Amino acid sequence: MRFLVIGSGGVGLGLSAFLLKAGCEVCLFSTRRSFNSLTNYFKVDGIFGDFTFKYGQYDVIDSFENLRDKFDWVLITTKTYANEDIARQLCDFKDKLGGVNLVVVQNGWGNAEKFLRCFDKESVFSARIITGFYRKAPNEVEITVHADKMVLGNIFRKELSGQTQEVVDALNNGGFDALVSEDVDKHLWAKLLYNCALNPLGAILRVEYGKLAEKSQTRKIMDRIINEIFDVMRAYGYETFFKNANEYKDVFYSKLVPSTYSHRSSMLQDIENSQKTEIDSLNGVVVELAKKKGLAAPYNEFIVELIKAIEP
């Protein structure tokens, strides 16, 4: 099976390692900035073991003009703010790619929609991933935590989720546990709740997740963020695995936060590296959806403004 992996960062290189171990062909699409190191080798280490792949075992391109093959699957593993740019380029070069399917492997909500510009709902899939991929260098990634299996499916046409089985099989064969689910939308909302509550607040206060649950003030802010997200979900008919905000908060404070107590959010890492954050696809989406239904989401709105004030 042939994969084009667009976004050769933490998640892109991490997943490519498992696909290559499974015997799949992988072409990385990288930016000019990372291209040179990737034409040498890339390395993935950490809790799944150490793997190094030399250029030649995989391919790398930095422009769609240089596409050499057709592909079965395209994985989108850039940060979400690159989606408009990637979607536009995919459209321009769609004929060269062949009849591919896409899997959008990103945090947040509303990402898969960005690729409907010239792909139909039947060929745009989504994945939820709760594994920590820490990018140490442009061609080196450490896998730090693995909280659950990766989940793949189709949020637009649930019944087509099974088409991702071949990707799941490849990942499993490469040693990474993944599964197909018709409920990938529910998994994405659950992850969004977690990221929206913890990531921006952790980035603003520059503390790890666990510290945020220790103070009554930060608990109150996170509680309000979670309540507003449940209001939005209810207004649109979206569901996750929890009946209401209180049921989620019980699990959040008793299980989810303690098990990632010392994690510093990816948003905090972005702020520390003077990079743009994914706030628009997290709390920003909540604010937009709330506005369209005439709902107030003041805590989410406030946190979006604060992040925008400190990001470059």
Ligand X SMILES: NC(=O)C1=CN([C@@H]2O[C@H](COP(=O)(O)OP(=O)(O)OC[C@H]3O[C@@H](n4cnc5c(N)ncnc54)[C@H](OP(=O)(O)O)[C@@H]3O)[C@@H](O)[C@H]2O)C=CC1
Ligand Y SMILES: CC(C)(CO)C(=O)C(=O)O
Interacting residue ranges for ligand X, rule: CB under 6 A: 6-12, 29-31, 33-34, 77-80, 82, 85-86, 105-107, 129, 131-133, 135, 138, 266, 278
The site partner of 80 among ligand X, ligand Y, none (C-beta below 5 to 8 Å per kind) is ligand X
Rg, C-alpha atoms of the chain: 19
Identify whether 191 is a catalytic site residue: yes
As measured in angstroms, the least distance from the Cβ of 28 to ligand Y is 21
Q: How far is the CB of 279 from ligand X (least distance, A)?
A: 11
Query: In the β-sheet with 178-180, what is the strand arrangement from edge to edge?
Result: 59-61, 25-29, 2-6, 73-76, 101-105, 124-128, 150-153, 178-180
Q: Are 27 and 61 in contact (CB under 8 A)?
A: yes
Q: Which of 191, 211, 249, 292 is catalytic?
A: 191
Helix (H, G, I), strand (E, B), or coil: what is residue 127? strand
Q: What's the min distance (Å) between Cβ of 198 and ligand Y?
A: 8
Q: Which is nearer to ligand Y, 199 or 240 (CB)?
A: 199
Report the interface residues with ligand Y, using CB under 6 A. Answer: 107, 130-132, 195, 199, 260, 263, 265-266
Instruction: Choose the contact partner of 114 out of ligand X, ligand Y, none; CB within 5 to 8 A by kind.
Output: none
CB of 131 to ligand X, least distance (A): 6
The SS3 of residue 153 is strand
How many other C-beta atoms lie within 10 A of the C-beta of residue 111? 21
Contact yes or no for 161/127 (Cβ under 8 A): no
The residues annotated as belonging to the active site are: 191
